[in-house]
């Protein structure tokens, strides 16, 4: 069974999160939101469209900056409420000029898996 745009679960405000990952390095570049029309345009154009929550309008990533995201593979998750796009980015993805939006490190305890008893 192929999962289509209308099979996805749009929960908060009719949107779902879309994780954008570099298709070669697997680096997570950004997370945006899509409504059904943004998913449809992403599927049809092969470039990433979002719904801008602040501007309340469809947003073709790269229209202003030139930093388009070309779709390489598209996935959804086991309950169909998130989309994952493996993409080939033109230039930096973040509006700050960074390659990825996830450059802000937060403190956390670093844990290790318990060893297997010997």
Distance (Å) of CA 31 to CA 10, 16, 17, 116: 15, 10, 7, 36
Tell the smallest beta-carbon distance from residue 37 to a second copy (Å). 15
Tell the smallest beta-carbon distance from residue 6 to a second copy (Å). 12
List, in order, residues 6 or more apart from 72 with CB less than 8 Å away.
23, 86, 87, 88
Residues numbered 97-116 forming contacts with a second copy, rule: CB under 8 A: 98, 101-113
Tell the smallest beta-carbon distance from residue 99 to a second copy (Å). 12
Tell the smallest beta-carbon distance from residue 49 to a second copy (Å). 11
Binding letters toward a second copy, positions 30-69, x by CB under 8 A: xx----------xxxxxx-----x--------------x-
- Residue 85 and residue 20 in contact, taking contact as beta carbons nearer than 8 Å: yes
- Residue 84 and residue 12 in contact, taking contact as beta carbons nearer than 8 Å: no
List, in order, residues 6 or more apart from 31 with CB less than 8 Å away.
17, 18, 19, 20, 101
Tell me if 70 contacts a second copy by CB under 8 A. Answer: yes
Chain contacts with a second copy (rule: CB under 8 A): 2-4, 11-13, 17, 19, 21, 25-28, 30-31, 42-47, 53, 68, 70-80, 82-84, 88, 90, 94-96, 98, 101-113
């Amino acid at each position: 069974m192929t999962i289509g745009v209308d099979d996805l679960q749009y929960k908060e405000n009719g949107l779902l999160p879309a994780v954008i990952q570099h298709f070669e390095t697997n680096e997570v570049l950004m997370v945006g939101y899509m409504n059904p029309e943004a998913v449809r345009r992403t599927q049809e154009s092969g470039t990433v469209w979002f719904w801008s929550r602040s501007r309340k309008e469809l947003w073709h990533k790269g229209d202003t900056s030139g930093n388009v995201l070309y779709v390489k593979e598209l996935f959804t998750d086991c309950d169909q409420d998130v989309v994952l796009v493996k993409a080939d980015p033109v230039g930096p993805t973040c509006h700050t000029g960074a390659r990825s939006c996830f450059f802000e490190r937060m403190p956390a305890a670093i844990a290790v898996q318990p060893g297997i008893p010997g």
